[in-house]
Structure 1
Amino acid sequence: MLRGPAGTGKTEGAKAIAAGLHLPYRCITCSANTEIFDLLGQILPDVDEKQLSLVGELPSFQDITLDPATAYEKLTGTYDEKVSENTVYEELIHHISEEMKQKQTATSNRQQFRYVDTPLVEAIRNGYLVEIQEPTVIANPGVLVGLNSLLDRCNSVFLPNGEVIHRHPDTTIVVTTNHDYAGCRPMNQSVISRMNMVIDMDEPDEETMVERVLAITGCSDKKSVRTMTQIVRSIAQYCQDNLITDGCCGVRELIAWVQSFMVCGDIQEAAHYTILSSVTADSESRIEIEGSCLDTVLAS
């Protein structure tokens, strides 16, 4: 498990693990409504591909209007220069009706269903690395408990279609999560106990942030990026001290700020549409943050 604030490199870390192990990377992003079937696969109506290809072979309304004779030939196999549009429309309706009757007879009035794998099941079958993103936002904390048999010595799980799959020896499951953001809930202890490693991803230090942002944005003004990095860290500390929690101030916001600065060339102007607007929705708090953190550093 990789646990830490946004922008600390949890997902990139999971991708790096996959690259280091030479495994394909897959991911699942959880939401409040995620259920166990979203992780293990779903039973969906089976759409007849032959029927879909037939629709592509039928003449369109535009084809019938522009060239009724050719459209009629496509339906009946007979070319008639004198055929009217109404006749072609009637033949099209008759053709579709007959196909539907044949389909209904073939399926014996029963809807056909098929099982669809999820990225998690695909990884379990084939030995991939799969990242499960933000499981703490799931409304029901017991959802991940359904995966416990995969994470312990059983190494197997029952799928919705009745199949039992065994975990490939190379399969690697990485859980990435924030722990103190809006909507996050405590993770079930039985899931945490099955994690071989739990790593807390801390905010990078100033020099690391500067080098990372320079590499990502391609900005060559290292001095300005260092100044902006100092301001971001100052804003983050100010928000923590003053319990401002309705926004975010981290590496992603710094990257957006630097990219905006590269366009407009003014640090303070770029801040109004990036870092300041991201840190809180309250206008009075933004004014206080700008005066306490931004103006102070830029004036020095």
Structure 2
Amino acid sequence: MGKTKILENWTFTRSMPAPFDTEVLRRGKKDSTEESCLSVHNKMTRGRRATLNSVTLRGMLLAADIINGKSKGAMGVETENGQICRYYVETVDSSGAADEIRIFIYDPKKGNWRAAVKKGEMLSPYPRIGESGASGKEMFLLLAYGSMVQGPIHDQEFEDSFRTFVREKDKGFPDMDLAMECAFLCCDNLYRRLENRDSLGAAGIPFRNDEIAAGNVTVIPTVRLKNGRYAVTRTDYGTFRVLERKEAVKSSGTIGELKSGYNRKFPLDEREKDLVPALPENYQVPVEVTEIVEAVLHTPMRVFMSAGESGTGKTTNAKMVAQLLGMPYYFFTCGEGTDETDLVSTMIPNIGGKEARPEVELPTFEDMVMDPASALERVCGNYEEEISQEEAFQRILSAMYQTGFQNGQGEKDYVMVESSIVTACRRPSVIEIQEPSVITKPGTLVKLNGLLDDGAAITLTSGEVVRRNPETVILLTTNMGYKGCRGFNESVLSRMRMIHYCEPLTAKGMVERVLKRVSGMERKTLEKMAETVCEIQKYCRTEMITGGVCGYREFEDWVWASLVQKDICGAAKRTVVAKAAPEAEEREEIYKTQILTKFEVESGAGGVKAA
């Protein structure tokens, strides 16, 4: 029924919780057209009705039990300058040997969700939400709590009805007609405020559906819990066991501060050491990078995607992941004509300059007998603790055969060169696959499914079967929505374990980033230029100008060109304006309305000033 992930059809077809299942069976329906059951946000003109949603109802019942003190768990908020910036909930399942604590965090400004499951000392991702997976009822628990208390998503209609629902639940629902009326109204209220969030304005509930479209809720980084990044400043119900209250909130830190804690310390040869990125250690680590690294450290997740506009830092983030993990970084850039063969290897003319692979120090017979796992690691880079002597010997023979095959290519007219994707999959590495969405040949990316799966194997043109090193991290980065970019095959998209949609940089973010790369210009001027870039973006959207680009890269180019030319307006014409629109008339209009109205050249002095 709904376009929001947690309101899809399966959420309505799941069995109803007691005692509402019996009442629905008695009535013979789970919808109502009675006015007292309909939310004020229900704007339907025909067939106006409210429908019970099983997942919503289960979340409400769980919230009621925590409020009434009949279930373990907690609900609270974090405030900044007196305003709620995050909502927090914990639920506790004590049915197993150890308590399972489910943690959810919601940002009402961005509509973002974070979640994790703690069992014993292990912190793991929340199960995938879907028809055959988790229900996501904890999300409705949190939304019910947030709609009941004063704050950004408070709704008076919901509060009045839900408080009655909670009281009736505490008494055991003696009046089922009243309970059903409250259930209908609350379900209808949350459904309308989620589904119609864009048209309802302030009454709508912000919800980043694109972040959980595949059913995966972004995991809460362990480091964020330890350093107090997520801090409950007010507890309204229950007692938090994981999200302890903290007075100070620290930032995620820089590369220099975090790399020692994240480094995997894999043995690397000299060539691999040279491939580990060396970004400045004072670079601030973004949340997206921390989440990916935490997922790599604490879960089997190894395949990720970052999508966003050009210049939002997707490639820099990929390099940062490799640097924090202490792993070599490879990249593969896709093009319109990239086909299945290009993804794994290419044939190039043999010009006699191909050097043989360096010889590997082979393990001795004694090494094979005493420690077959270490012997295999010396040749292949994989340490498999339970491997037998026979299997290790076969794997070593296969690796040496492949080395000889590659060295023998020098005797042929053409040699096969494996792609950086395959090279990265042989040893612990980070491989960034850039712009896969521009590929036009159908089914090309499906070839990669063998490496994206947990089985992780792909067959080369030589017949060799390459198994992805279990520690190799694959990052797909793409500019969604640009000309030439296409959607992904569903089989590829479903294999992305986590997807980050990078938001365009704000004017402040642009200034902070460019100050780390450029010097020689006053901050006030940089702020004015960054604001102008943002206004050009808005102007192009308003005037429906397409086919151009205007983002951080254009801003940085403008800054560099201004320093060289000493003419901020002339530099803008050749950088920002030149790429903002394809038509000459559109570029001229942008230059006149967005540049000349804000800047002018100081003749003779070579400086700039605001107009």
Same fold (TM over 0.5): yes
Pairing 1:5–2:309 present = yes
Matched position secondary structure for 2:498 = coil
**How many residue pairs are counted as aligned between the two chains?**
241
Distance 1:141 1:14, change over 3 A: farther
Give the whole-Å Cα distance in 2 for the aligned partners of 1:255 and 1:49: 40
Task: Spell out the pairing of 1:215-234 with structure 2 (5 A cutoff).
Answer: 215-234=516-535
SS in structure 1 at match of 2:596: helix
Shift of 1:295: 2.8
C-alpha separation between the residues in 2 aligned to 1:219 and 1:190?
A: 49
Mean CA deviation greater in 286-295 or 3-12? 286-295
Q: Which structure 2 segments of 5+ residues have no match?
A: 1-304, 355-410, 600-609
SS in structure 2 opposite 1:181?
Answer: coil
Q: What is the percentage of aligned positions where both structures have the same residue?
A: 39
Deviation per CA, 1:256-292, whole angstroms, max 9, x where unpaired?
Answer: 1111111222321221211111212322112211232
Match of 1:248 among 543, 549, 554: 549
Q: Does 1:199 align with 2:199?
A: no
Q: Aligned equivalents of 1:140 and 1:274: distance in 2?
A: 33
Native 8 Å contact 1:41 1:115 kept in 2: yes
SS of residue paired to 1:217: coil
Q: Does 1:23 align with 2:324?
A: no
Q: What residue identity is the alignment partner of 1:230?
A: E
1:178-223 superposed Cα distances (whole Å, 9 cap, x missing partner):
1111111111111111011100011112211111112212233111
Does 1 or 2 have the higher relative contact order (CA < 8 Å, sep 6+)? 1
1:91-102 equivalences in 2 (<5 Å): none
The equivalent of 1:39 in structure 2 is 343
Q: Specify the SS of the correspondent of 1:182.
A: coil
Partner of 2:318: 14
1:148 aligned residue: 449
**Do residues 259 (structure 1) and 563 (structure 2) align?**
no
Corresponding letter in the other structure for 2:313: G
Specify which of 443, 461, 481 is matched with residue 180 of structure 1. 481
1:237 and 2:513 are equivalent in the alignment: no
Query: Structure 1 residues 169 and 111, CA, compared in 2 at 3 Å: closer, same or farther?
Result: closer
1:46, distance to aligned residue in structure 2 (A): 4.7
Return the alpha-carbon distance in structure 1 between the equivalents of residues 570 and 346 of structure 2.
49
Corresponding residue for 1:131?
432
Q: Is residue 162 from structure 1 mapped to residue 463 from structure 2 by the alignment? A: yes
SS in 2 for 1:31: coil
> Equivalent residue for 1:54?
none
Distance 2:315 2:510 in 1: 17
Counterpart-to-counterpart distance in 2, 1:206 and 1:10: 18
Q: Which structure has greater strand proportion?
A: 2
Change in Cα spacing, 1:261 to 1:45, as seen in structure 2 (3 Å) is closer
Match in the other structure for 1:83:
none
| Cross-structure match for 1:103 | none
Q: Deviations over 1:215-264 (max 9, x none)?
A: 21223311111111011000011111112122211111111111111122
Q: Tell me, yes or no, if the aligned pair for 1:249 and 1:275 is still in contact at 8 Å.
A: yes
Question: How far 1:45 moved relative to its partner?
Answer: 5.2
Q: CA RMSD in A?
A: 1.9
Distance 1:49 1:203 in 2: 45
Which piece of structure 1 moves more, 247-256 or 261-270?
261-270
Indicate if the aligned counterparts of 1:253 and 1:274 stay in contact, CA closer than 8 A: yes
What is the TM-score normalised by the length of structure 1? 0.76
Specify which of 291, 295, 298 is matched with residue 592 of structure 2. Answer: 291
**8 A contact 2:329–2:430 mirrored in 1:** yes
Deviations 1:103-141 (A, max 9, x none): xxxxxxx96654321110100001211110001111114
Contact map agreement 2:426 2:468 (CA 8 A) in 1: yes
Q: Tell me, yes or no, if the aligned pair for 1:130 and 1:173 is still in contact at 8 Å.
A: yes
Q: For the residues of structure 1 that align with 2:325 and 2:307, how far apart are their CA atoms?
A: 21
1:36 corresponds to which letter in structure 2? E
* 168 and 285 in structure 1: CA distance in 2 versus 1, 3 angstrom threshold: same
Whole-angstrom distance in 1 between the partners of 2:522 and 2:538: 25
1:274 maps to what in 2?
Answer: 575
Instruction: Give the helix-richer structure, 1 or 2.
Output: 1
SS in 2 for 1:170: coil
Pick the aligned partner of 1:118 from 419, 429, 433: 419
Q: CA deviation at 1:43?
A: 4.2
Q: Is the partner of 2:526 in helix, strand or coil? A: helix
1:104 maps to what in 2?
Answer: none
Give the conservation status (yes or no) of the 8 Å contact 2:430–2:473: yes
Q: What pairs with 1:43-82 in structure 2 (closer than 5 Å)?
A: 43-44=347-348, 46=350
2:506–2:534 contact (8 Å) kept in structure 1: no
Give the whole-Å Cα distance in 2 for the aligned partners of 1:220 and 1:49: 47
TM-score, normalised on structure 2? 0.38
CA distance 1:205–1:37, shift in 2 (3 Å): same
* Residue type of the alignment partner of 1:31: G
